[in-house]
Copies of this chain bind each other. A is one copy, B any other.
Amino acid sequence: MEKKEEEIKLKSPIRCIVKLGGAAITCKNDFEKINEDDLITVSSQLREAMIMSKSFSPGPVLEMDWSKRPGISETLSRVDDFAGQQVLHYHNFVVIHGAGSFGHFQASKSGVHKGGLNQPLVKAGFVATRISVTSLNLEIVRALAREGIPSVAMSPFSCGWSTRQRNIVSADVSNVVEALDSGFVPVLHGDAVLDESLGCTILSGDVIISHLAAHLRPQFVVFLTDVSGVYDRPPSEPNAILLREIAVREDGSWSVVKPTFEGTKQVEISVASHDTTGGMVTKISEAALIAKLGIDVYIVKAATKHSLTALSGKLREEIPEDWLGTIIRYVS
């Protein structure tokens, strides 16, 4: 197993870092449109997975978004629901989301990922990208808060995270740790950030997950996406085979251990992807880096019974025969 990086002391260990894939929570062909139904289901599953004691009835959902909502006049009375309520204990979770149909257009049209802040278009694109991704972030924080999850927005740019040649050089996780230690669920996202050599770039949610996993050592990592996992070919093609289990070795190389293929068939990898930072090749490489730390990674379709199973942590004990998804884990 890889040498541990400087480890952060948390009051309680982190149970899970979960990535809400941009393609899963937004409508990918509809500019800046959230997939409301799936986001509600995902939030509800997260709540269920986060509550510690399964035997204890958690009571009613205590909504933590008390803002005005179109068509609803009753938000102000939500405060009264808290009278006499007990403190619930939650597993420590961190949520990171992608951009999907938010931010992608602004970033690619202006070339923010290539840098060059002295160009008016790039600078404007930086501003426009951040407006778009932070507006998505706000809606995700709201959706989680409405499920009673104490979610707090933590934008990487605001946190002072920056890169050099697109590699993270400054990403102090102490703010994230303090939020966790105070009982909150930090919600981060892929963001436009400053880059020491390029001026600016895009820091993808997958790179953020990898960084946080190395420093926070969660028990497991879940990628919620819009297909069932990693396939041997584009999942839209007939006969595409879902790769159930991928083993990562000490040297970072990996191979499919389930299902077993005849001969030495080359596995072609594809998952519908919707980001400016490389799609599935990035995802699998980042997942392998996480797995190398001894942390199991589950890639699963969002808002399904399979995603609830993954989020609950049950896969660490036993993988049900009918579970659909991809497990990426370290083998010594």
Contacts and interface: CB of A to CB of B under 8 A. Distances in A.
* Centre residue among A117, A158, A160 by max chain B CB count within 10 A: A158
Contact of A160 (B67, B135, B151, B172): B172
A215 to B, nearest CB: 15
Given A120-B86, A158-B155, A160-B174, A141 B150 contact: no
Contact of A157 (B109, B126, B152): B152
Contacts of A162: 178
Contacts of A68: 31-32
A138 interface: yes
Contacts of A158: 153-155, 158-159, 175
Copies in the complex: 2
A196 to B, nearest CB: 10
Contact of A131 (B121, B132, B145, B174): B145
A184 interface: yes
Interface residues of A, number: 62
Contacts of A128: 64-67, 145
A85 interface: yes
Interface in A52-87: 62-68, 76, 79, 82, 85-87
Contact of A120 (B87, B157, B160): B87
A162 B200 CA distance: 28
Given A131-B141, A142-B131, A121 B159 contact: no
A284 B87 CA distance: 40
Interface string A138-169: 10011001000011111101111010000000
Contacts of A76: 31, 105
Nearest to A102: B67
A124 interface: yes
A12 interface: no
Contacts of A183: 117, 123
A273 interface: no
Contacts of A118: 87
